[in-house]
Every structure is written in structure tokens, then in C-alpha cells.
Homo-oligomer: A and B are copies of this chain.
Amino acid sequence: MRAEIITIGDELLMGQTIDTNSAWIGQKFMELGISIAKKTAVSDQETEILEALLAAQQQSQILIVTGGLGPTKDDITKKTLCTYFNCELKQDPAVVAHLERMFAERGRKLLSLNLMQADLPETATTLMNEVGTAPGMWLENEKGIVVSLPGVPNEVYHLIENQVIPRLIERFKLQKRLHKTLITLQIPESLLSNRLESFELHLPENLGLAYLPSFNMVKLRLTAKNGDVTESEFNHYFQKLISELGDDIFCIGDQEPTQFIAQYLLKNNISFSTAESCTGGYVANRLMQISGISAVFPGSLIAYANEIKEQELGVPTSVIEEFGAVSEPCAGMMASGIRSKMKVQLGISTTGIAGPTGGTDEKPVGLVYVGVDFNGELTVTKLRLFGNREQIIQRTCNAVCWILKKHLNIPAE
């Protein structure tokens, strides 16, 4: 079964908005064995939208259309769907009631503009949107299904999960497609590919291995291309992949490295804190994005200025004068300092030159020290990273995860 996504909106083409919806939809559909064969982004113009609908329906049975359902003049999706499905708009009283309730709750006045969101193509099945004002629509013709959704990410997620997927599962009697992911850190894609050359050569036709590199991390995803792979056959090859890579695997499963680490710390009741200079709180912010983390995370310090490193973390002025703030001793003292300040088991520090300015011959942009103090056992790692400021920060964060895995001996699953 083939599906396509059409996103509507000048803002996507002009680049004022980054489309995160369709990646999310792609993941959800892949798990159902529906592959998104194509995504097309078109402007807020009727001819472009009609053309895209026509072209997509020629090849694909399922079409997910997002965007263009707002209350303003440049949102023309519903009008265009009426043209395409040859019908009129009609007010849905259930949506009117929902809008009245929603606006009353938020203490806002319901304008006639807002009420227009209840006008839907008369042949459409309404997909109630509990988290927003624009409902989704399920339309059908002889070629297949067209689902129209708003563009706001959490409304898309809500409608796909609660309205679209259950209907698709029922209609097409769907089953999940086998796929598993593992993550490596600190190994370049080309080295990995070299190491896995023989593994890939001996992979059956109906299995595929994909490399997804980003910031010194490579995700390796093994996927069953169709339904004729048994679970034990699939697991055999995934185990083979695991043994090929051994200790170089960071974790098994598709998750952010920080999420993997945070879950381990939470599960093992290891309290932690960070003292961050060059990463400016990025590491803490990533680590604390899992539910319940407050049980092991009291807080963190962003220590940008040298005075803060001295005053708050107890790094002696003499150390900064002799070695500089970007140095092994300073990183070590920051890690131990935050550990005792926050009374935690694990102290993590970063100090480095994220650039674009501030680099010297001796201490170039990309030089970063990471300190880890776990129950008094201290390790400081010197990194030499490449890329722009944002990349150096993200690569430092991934390196922190790798260092923690090694220093705390965290198993890959």
C-alpha cells in the first residue's frame, strides 16, 4: 500500500516554517507497514493544490493533506477540497458545539471567523479535533482516501493517533512491519560501512539496512521490506548486527542518546547535575526532558563567566590563571564542584570553545573538555570537534553521553 503526504502553505515553501509533521507521520505509518512513497509541499494556490491531489491519487491510495485550515484568508484547503470532490461546504453542529465549549473555557469571544471552522465539505466525515479549533476531514472517491488535517503539530499528532490510524487499521486490516534500530556514537559512517560490508552482502533481499548519521552519531536501522520475513529470521540478522559492532554500540533502540542516559540514571536512582560553560545548559535541558526526572535532578548551573566558575563551583582563580578556563583541571573541578554543590552522585561539566570566535592556535574552536565525577571518581576527556557553534554543542552533548556510558558502565539495553 502506497501513501503520500501533501503539505499546503506558502510558509513551508518560503521557509518560515519547518515541516516536522510529515516526519512524524512517516514514522507512525512505517510502523503500520504503510510506506510514505512521496511528500509534496505546495503553495496556497488552488491550481497547485488540485494538481498535487490529482497526481498523488494517480499513484497512491492514501493521501494525507496537512495545512491551510486556519481562519485567515490565505487558508484555502477546504474550498479546494470542495472543488476537487465536487461538493459544497456545510456547517457541522458538533464542531460548533466544540468551538463554543473551547472558547468559553479559555474566556475568549467566538468570532464569526472562528465559526467558519465548522464549515466542512458536505461529503467529508468530520475528524473531531479535541486539541484545536480546526477539525480534520476524511474524504473518499473511487481512487482512494484523502485525509485533510490542520498544520499545527500537536493537532496533527492528536488526529493521526486518535482518528486516522484506528480508521486505517480497521479498513485495511493492517499489521506492524518489523524494524529495529541501534545507535553508535563516535564512529564515522564510512568506517561503519566498511566494517559492515560483509554483513550487508549476506543480508537477504527482503531486509534493508539504513545509515542515519548526525553529529558523530549513526543510527543503524534494519527493516523488513515486506511481510514475508518471520520475526525469528529478522531477530537473527539484528543479533548478527549487534555482534558485528559489539562494544561500539551505544544503545539498542531508537532514542536520543540523552534520553537513554536519563532513563538509566532515573531507573538506577543516580542523582546528577551539570555545570556547563560552552554548552550553555543544552546538556541539562536534553537530559531533563523525560517524565519524572525531577526525582534525580535537582538543577544545574550554566557557568559562562570565570567568576561564576570560581564563586559557585570553587575553581581556584590560580587554576584559571595558570591553565585557562578551557582546560583539563578546570573541567575536573567544575564537575566535582557541581557534584558537591548540588549534593548529587554524578557531576558533569563542559568547558570549551564553541566558536565561531574565541579560538586560538593553542586552543582552537572545537576544543572541549568534558568532566565527569561519579561518586568521587573523576575522569576528564579532551575532545577536538568540528563544525559550527550549534554542531559543536550537539557533538559535545553526544560525547557526554558516550563518556557517561563508558565511565558508568551502562549496558546497551
Contacts and interface: CB of A to CB of B under 8 A. Distances in A.
B12 A17 contact: no
A73 interface: yes
A20 interface: yes
Nearest to A55: B55
A303 interface: yes
A interface SS class: mixed
A16 B212 contact: yes
Contacts of A386: 106
Contacts of A141: none
A20 B22 contact: no
Interface of A: 10-20, 22-28, 30, 35-43, 48, 52, 55, 70-74, 106, 108, 111, 113-114, 154, 188-191, 193-194, 200, 208, 210-214, 219, 221, 254, 280-282, 284-285, 288-289, 291-292, 294, 297-305, 307-308, 312, 342, 356-357, 386-388, 391
Given A71-B193, A74-B211, 16 more contacts: A10-B210, A16-B210, A18-B18, A38-B48, A38-B52, A39-B41, A40-B40, A108-B188, A114-B190, A154-B391, A281-B302, A285-B285, A291-B357, A298-B308, A299-B308, A300-B301
27 contacts: A12-B26, A13-B37, A14-B35, A14-B36, A15-B22, A15-B27, A17-B23, A18-B18, A19-B19, A38-B40, A38-B41, A38-B48, A40-B40, A70-B211, A73-B200, A74-B211, A106-B386, A111-B191, A113-B193, A113-B194, A154-B387, A280-B284, A280-B289, A281-B300, A284-B302, A291-B357, A299-B308
